[in-house]
Amino acid sequence: MGAAAVRERILYSNPLAGPNDVAGWVAEGPLRGGSHEGALELSGALDDQEFGDHAHWTLWCPENFPDGIRISWEFRPLAEPGLAMLFFAATGHRGQDLFSPALAPRTGYYPQYHSGDIDALHVSYFRHKYPSERAFRTCNLRKSAGFELVAQGADPLPPTEDATDFYRLELVKDGPVVEFSINGLRLFGWRDSAGKVLGGGRIGFRQMAPLRAAYRNLVVESL
């Protein structure tokens, strides 16, 4: 495929080189942004013990995407513990836009996202928050509303002290099919065969404090 054809498939791209590159994004929760070696550094509340489950955040891309897309980005953990995930195909439960004023306000509190008035899929790909997650590391795909665990695969991401570079993550959402890989290693594939199949919608990053992580080179392209 030629360069022109590749460019035609790209729906959105963002180098995520620093806070200015997400100035138009929608933050929910106590998000803190900075720069790390030419990438966007993101973290939450400094004291997750004080804020508890309200110490975490979600950051939404302002674009609304169709179905049939490939999402790729680069990720590097900087300080643990914590958890990182990506929401995708996110809409209101009755098909409203995710930012519709008809939906309840969201503040980064997790139940608002998995058991509230929005539908979404989300993949948790760096689950290093709790001792049980660090003892047996998996990537989890959940479907909401309802918080249903629908797919799972091994997590190849190392602890922070062993991460010497960025890792390339890739997610495909094509109708009922979801596939997820890291550095070209396929971790799981899933086909939705029950209930409402989610289509297009918003995408957003989420972290659980006190994780500090860096992101760069987000690309969303049509299949």
- Structural domains counted in the chain: 1
CB distance 139 to 154 below 8 Å: yes
CATH code for position 85: 2.60.120.200
| 69 pLDDT tier (thresholds 50, 70, 90) | very high
User: Distance (Å, rounded) from C-alpha 28 to C-alpha 36?
Assistant: 22
What does the pLDDT look like over 120-155, one tens digit per residue?
Answer: 999 999 999 999 999 999 999 999 999 999 999 999
pLDDT at 194: 83
Helix (H, G, I), strand (E, B) or coil at 111: helix
User: Distance (Å, rounded) from C-alpha 52 to C-alpha 24?
Assistant: 28
Report CA-CA distances (Å) from 218 to 118, 126, 133, 145, 193.
24, 17, 26, 26, 29
DSSP structure string for 143-178: EETTTEEEEEEE--PPPGGG--S-EEEEEEEETTEE
pLDDT tops 80 at residue 75? yes
Six token digits for residue 14: 């963002």
Full domain range(s) for residue 27: 3-222
pLDDT at 6: 59
| 165 pLDDT tier (thresholds 50, 70, 90) | very high
On average, the pLDDT of the chain sits at 94
